[in-house]
Amino acid sequence: MTGNVMLTLEGRVKVFVLGFAAEHGFAVWIEAGRQKILLDTGAGKALPINREQCGIDFAQATALVLSHGHYDHTGGIGAFLSGNQTAVVYAAPGFDRPRFSCRPGEKARAIGLQAEGRRQIQALPPERFHLVTGPLRLAPRIGLTGAIPRLCPFEDPGGPFFFDAEATLPDPIEEDQALWFETVDGLVILTGCCHAGLVNTIERVRVLSGQSRIHGIIGGFHLLNASEERLAQTFAAVQDWNPAFILPCHCTGNPVMARLCAHFGSETVRPGRVGMILPLELPEGL
């Protein structure tokens, strides 16, 4: 059985190419047997355009998974919910807290879930919202990590993140979670921003799934501001996992994408693009 993973929006600037829209945001549409899942919703403007261009019917979705509560992953909640009356929304505790990016010498910038998105989530009936307090399965071979333990000493959330505009309460983005599913070739893991760290995330999925073979990794890795030490140790971990493909995008950072490609080769590393479709062979029964 074949399933598709489609990167419906990606990019750091707002452009229109062949009818697709890109923005600083992230969203992935997954078709796996009977399961049709949207992972994140981008910043809001690109999702409706790209949904139409890709011929995606949100009414068919079985789930909306929010990897974490930042605006560039939750801005399209309204666009999704307006086209779907049945899907369950999955998010980990703390996803809706106010949060800020506070860079030295710059005004604090609010980067959390916007008020409208919070209102729309709160208006859902209880059966349509699931607070992910631990690992769970969306289907027999599809899982959510829930909040990921921070065990790797060289990884951090990847930026100057705080719960307050005064930068007194550091935000570890503890709700950060990843989606994973089994293919006949091994695990495919999807990350939103990977604020928990790529190594923490992949190793957590290996423990939860009981499988060690990593077939592919897709998503934002938040390595733009990573130190050379962190990059070296992350690359060493990727080497050990030996995935067949890596699709870095969003917050990974263009320089790091280039280094990944140079290190592991262009056949393995392919930057995620708007509208990209990735066919994967899935086991029967999904």
pLDDT of residue 183 exceeding 50: yes
Q: Please tell me the predicted confidence (pLDDT) of residue 286.
A: 59
Non-local (6+) Cβ contacts of 232 within 8 A are none
Q: What is the pLDDT of residue 153?
A: 96
Residue 1 predicted with pLDDT over 60:
no
Q: Residue holding tokens 């060289």?
A: 154
Percent share of the chain, pLDDT over 70: 93
Is residue 78 within 8 Å of residue 45, measured between CB atoms?
no
Amino acid 4: pLDDT:
54
Q: CA 171, 274, 218, 66: dihedral to nearest 10 degrees?
A: 40
- Sheet of 27-32, strand order: 129-131, 88-91, 63-65, 35-39, 27-32, 2-9, 276-281
Q: How confident is the model at residue 218 (pLDDT cuts 50, 70, 90)?
A: very high
Please provide residue 11's backbone torsions phi and psi, each rounded to the nearest 5 degrees: 140, 160
Q: What is the reported pLDDT for 96?
A: 96
Would you state the pLDDT for residue 279? Answer: 85
Check residue 179 and give its pLDDT: 97
> 65 has which bridge partners?
39, 90
* 105-160 confidence digits (pLDDT tens): 999 999 999 999 999 999 999 999 999 999 999 999 999 999 999 999 999 999 99
Say which DSSP state 193 is in: S
Q: pLDDT tens across 2-58, in order?
A: 555 554 433 322 233 447 888 899 999 999 888 999 999 999 999 999 999 888 999
Angstrom distance (rounded) from CA 67 to CA 177? 5
